[in-house]
Structure 1
Amino acid sequence: MVFREAIERDTVDLLTLAGRVATETGHDPFDGALHRDLATLGNDHLAQERRLETAALTLRKVWLSAAHRPADASLKSPRDGDIARVPCGDSLHFGYERDLDMSILEDRGAAYAPPPAGWTSDMVIFRSGQAALAAILQFVASAWGDRRTLSVAHAGAYFETRALLDAWPRQNFRPTHPSVVSADVVICEPVWCNGCFAATKRLPRARHVLLIDTTMVGPACDLSPWLLAAGNDCDLAIAFSSGLKLDQAGLELANVGIARVLVRDGAQRRSEITGRLRQLRGLMATGLTLDELSALSAPWFLDRAYVDNYVAAIFANNRVLAHAIGHESPVFGPHCHPALTSNADAPFCAIQLREPSPSRYRRFVEIVEQQRERRGLLLAKGGSFGFRGHRFELIEPAPDQGHPFLRLAMGWRDGHSCRGLGELFHELAAYESFEALDRAYGR
């Protein structure tokens, strides 16, 4: 894709989103100026990318301004008969905000994530991915752990999942190694990173429930292999994710957790389970506020066609970067991305030094920042992934939670900065040692 085409693709996408905002709010976020502004910048692709970043934030601001109005006008405990109307046109009546009905979002679940053959599903929305997992573990403990300790096999490495499990007394959940034949509860991360990337290849059988964290793999991830691996005795699975990362067009409208309750055909317990999770959501105050629900009524949230296209572009850009680095670099470790060793995808690259030290990692960051400025690349320093543009940060976990690495999260946008970053890291990876790289990019 030539740089001009990448700018045009981003422009068309933002204008499409703006059109959907205008339909709901009656206001064009760009007032017809975006194409004109980009044209005045000629072939200055860096300036055009910056203008597109500004345009995305403008669109976000306009939508959130409209989305905040229902909450601004509503008490947390409304009077009888009070009705709140969110921008998408739906009306809400509630007694307490923490018991807010999420059905205007949950009803999108059938089209967003239809279940695999042989299973039925429902969606339950929470305030974050961690809130979803906390409620799920509470449900599991009450359903099966009242008389015995439940064994939990965690096939993955996400540190907050481990921390949440560690917060439970050992008489409730007992961690066991994922190489066991079976466990009461199995938690699966299809792709995970503890400094190096890996893809889960096998699971223990799940005696009661399989939990699948799909935050890094998106809604298109085929759950069938994991459901099959869990065994015939397991008739309940819950796929959960943070919906902040890949589901909001990179605009981060609100934190949200998405739980998909999957029940094997014939088990006939789905409504009971989803009802219990919604009850726990209210009791634990882990549902969305009216402000958050209104923000997430955006028409592109849980729009499967849009999300699939968005996620595919992020995965493609990170694959290209990973292959530019390769797995035989004398400078960088061999496992920066799962695509180098499998068919799996991920929304960022985890770049480790073969000969690591704190001073070398700091110097590595200096070189990246230096070359970003010299080459005129749009690369923000910051955390997380799934944005329209590109981000990087140095991750330095506690010693027992993984190894340091530079997270380079390629975003949705192709073009000048995307290709320039690929060229930069291909050059860095080719040096015979970190010392040679350091000398070449003198201070």
Structure 2
Amino acid sequence: MADTTHLADTSALGAEARDLRLLGRRLARHAPRLSSQITTLQATFDAALATAEPYMAERAAEAFTRSLRSLWLEAAGREASTVFRSPTANETQRIGKRHDAFGYERDLQPESLEKRCEAFFPAPPPGWRQDHILFSSGQAAMTTALLVLGSHIVSDKPALRLTHRGVYFETKSLIRSLPFVTEATFAQTADVIIDEPVCCDGQFHQLDTTKLLSASPSAVIFDTTLLGRMDGVDEYLSELQPGRKQIVMRVASALKLLQGGLELANCGVLSVYTSHPSLSCLGDKLRTMRTLTGSGLHHVDAIALEAPWVFDVDHTDSYTSAVFDHNARLAHAIEPVNQRFEPVTHPSFGGSNAPFCAFRLKAASPAAYDALDQEIAAEAQRRKLNLARGGSFGFRGHRYEIVKPETGEPPFLRIALGRRGGWSCEGIIAMMARLAAR
């Protein structure tokens, strides 16, 4: 194995390399049949690190990440392909020796993964029950929650009264598309409140969740996709008196920040917290609706999510901490020198976190954003920075995109720094501070 001791233990790239090697070792222990292939990948990775300049060393880290991901997803696909989606009785027994068994894939109950969630999220205060239900996406989880709440909550009006405190466009569209939902003007008159504690529409917004305490809705749904594991839901529960019929839920996409940046499978987590005995069957109703709507995990996705770092407390906290820190540093670097963008907003200015930064040009036309896009690409190439044009966030590497909302809101620049610190991360922060000062 190549000598990589020149990568100091304290260096950001050294930390990335150690983390990737750890993922490889953990996967080899989980799936011993892949050990030799993982060893080969690691040897190739170490050899590249031994001689590469920082720019190319980061590319080697990205190549290892993608190769490890491909190896595991191919293995999961092979495993899932050995049975039909409606397996025989013998096949169901065989599946059950290694995975969550099923008789019909649409009714797959990922009990082992849901058990991981129980130890993963902060425990609720005494008097509260917790249940965690996995779906094919965060939006599938949100949709199922509203369908079940719509039939469960008794309202004195013919429709479910709902207040959405947030900006996520898909949630807005979902609410408008459900015929049994009517939007309540005030939280105090709502049956259900959907709250996004941190949200972004080109400018960041932080919502004071304690204001919900005086509203007393039948159910509160927190969308905490941007916050990772430590999202404050347990703190909100601690302010409520147990024994009442209030329902508290968490919806989070597990694709973004909870899979080590490998995007193994689309997955949404719906956490349900109740304290009244009459609500003890709510989880069963949600699982039944999951089956009826076909919104659960496919067998291949459930296998992929068995990777040992998924829903792992220590790894997730370390991973999200790096992502949050890098993006906070970018926001804090731009804010004092900014001449080009509207005033910089970021949750880190208010003591919270976000996995990306957003910037709006001052009084800009679409053409100005196109020019900014090209300027960033050219400058990153000139500086030899690994910055990809692309959407989403929470990766190991770094991305940027010009977001042009279809709903008519102004465009904005989103930069999503990833977990990988060092050369490109520092270079992007310096580059953007200089561009912002022009």
Contact 2:124-2:237 within 8 A present in 1 as well: no
In structure 1, the partner of 2:3 is none
- Return the alpha-carbon distance in structure 2 between the equivalents of residues 84 and 294 of structure 1: 16
Once the two structures are superposed, what CA deviation does each residue of 1:407-439 show, in whole Å capped at 9, x if it has no partner?
Answer: 1000001100000011011111222xxxxxxxx
Q: For residue 396 of structure 2, what is the amino acid of its counterpart?
A: R
Identify the match of residue 382 of structure 2 among 369, 374, 399.
374
Residues 256-305 of structure 1, C-alpha deviations (whole Å, 9 max, x = no match): 000111113xx124540110100000000000111111111111111111
Letter in 1 for 2:12: A
Q: 1:407 aligns with which of 408, 414, 433?
A: 414
Report what 2:247 is aligned to.
Answer: 236
Deviation at 1:2, TM superposition (A): 8.1
1:41-56 correspondence to structure 2 within 5 Å: 41=52, 44-56=53-65
Aligned to 2:13: 7
| Other structure's SS at 1:210 match | strand
Q: Distance in 1 between matches of 2:279 and 2:316?
A: 26
Q: Do structure 1's residue 156 and structure 2's residue 166 form an aligned pair?
A: yes
Give 1:235 shift. 2.3
**Secondary structure in 2 matching 1:366:** helix
Please state if 1:257 is matched with 2:268: yes
**Distance across 2 between alignment mates of 1:247 and 1:208:** 29
SS at match of 2:281: helix
TM-aligned CA distance change 1:362 to 1:336, over 3 Å = farther
Match of 2:286 in 1: 277
Query: How far apart in 2 are the matches of 1:302 and 1:3?
Result: 26
Tell me the SS of whatever aligns to 2:217.
Answer: strand
Q: Name the residue aligned to 2:4.
A: none
Measured after TM superposition, the shift of residue 30 of structure 1 is 4.2
CA, structure 1 residues 328+167, in 2 after alignment: closer, same or farther (shift >3 Å)? farther
Q: Does 1:423 align with 2:434?
A: no
Aligned partners of 2:339 and 2:208: how far apart in 1?
28
Letter matched to residue 382 of structure 2:
R
Q: Which amino acid letter does the alignment assign opposite residue 413 of structure 1?
A: R
Report how many aligned residue pairs link the two structures. 421
Question: How many angstroms apart in 2 are the aligned matches of 1:186 and 1:239?
Answer: 12
Distance 1:107 1:269 in 2: 23
How far is the alpha carbon of 1:357 from its aligned partner?
A: 1.0
Alignment of 1:76-87 (within 5 A): 76-83=85-92
Instruction: Indicate how the Cα distance of structure 1 residues 395 and 63 shifts in structure 2: closer, same or farther if over 3 A, else same.
Output: same
Structure 1 CA distance, aligned partners of 2:344 and 2:237? 27
Once the two structures are TM-superposed, the CA of residue 206 in structure 1 deviates from its matched residue by: 3.7
Give the 3-state SS of the residue equivalent to 1:10 in structure 2: helix
Structure 1 residue 90 displacement after superposition: 2.6
Alignment-derived partner of residue 398 in structure 1: 406
Q: Which moved more, 1:330-339 or 1:278-287?
A: 330-339
Residue 195 and residue 89 in structure 1: after superposition, are their counterparts in 2 closer, same or farther (change >3 A)? farther
Q: Distance in 2 between matches of 1:3 and 1:403?
A: 44
Select the residue among 48, 51, 72 that pairs with 2:81.
Answer: 72
Name the structure 1 match of 2:233: 223
**Aligned counterpart for 2:178 among listed residues 168, 186, 196:** 168
Question: What's the offset of the Cα at 1:62?
Answer: 1.2
Work out whether residues 254 and 266 of structure 2, in 8 Å CA contact, stay in contact via their aligned partners in 1. Answer: yes
What does the per-residue CA deviation read over 1:197-234, in whole Å, with 9 as the maximum and x for residues that have no partner?
01002544242100000100111111145446778866
Measured against aligned partners, the alpha-carbon deviations of 1:90-132 in whole angstroms (never above 9, x if no partner) come to: 3343211000121010011221013331322111000000000
What's the counterpart of residue 359 of structure 1? 367
Q: Counterparts of 1:248 and 1:112 in 2: how far apart (Å)?
A: 13
How large is the RMSD of aligned CA atoms in angstroms?
2.2
2:245–2:279 contact (8 Å) kept in structure 1 = no
Matched with 1:105 is 113
Q: 205, 208, 218: which one pairs with 2:218? A: 208
| Counterpart code for 1:108 | R
- 2:348 counterpart (339, 362, 365): 339
Gaps spanning 5+ residues in structure 1: where?
432-443
- Equivalents in 1 of 2:105, 2:313: separation in Å? 28
Q: Which has the higher helix share?
A: 2
Structure 1 residue 358, shift from structure 2 partner:
0.6
Is this contact kept in 2: 1:24–1:89, CA < 8 A? no
Alignment partner of 1:323 is 2:323 = no
Q: Return the offset for 1:180.
A: 4.0
Q: Deviations over 1:45-74 (max 9, x none)?
A: 000000000000011011112211221101
Contact 2:187 2:193 in 1 (8 A): no
Secondary structure of the structure 1 residue equivalent to 2:332: helix
Give the match's secondary structure for 2:269.
strand
Residue type of the alignment partner of 2:133: V
- 1:369–1:376 Cα change, 3 Å: same
- 1:81 Cα offset (Å): 2.1
Output the amino acid matched with 2:28: A
Give the aligned partner of residue 63 of structure 1.
72
Paired with 2:8 and 2:14, the residues of 1 have a C-alpha distance of 10
Q: CA deviation at 1:6?
A: 1.4
- In the alignment, the residues of structure 2 paired with residue 23 and residue 277 of structure 1 have an alpha-carbon distance, to the nearest angstrom, of 34
CA contact (8 A) 1:206 1:231 kept: no
Give me the TM-score of the superposition, normalised by structure 2. 0.91
Does the 8 A contact of 2:100 with 2:111 survive in 1? no
The alignment-based identity, stated in percent, is: 36
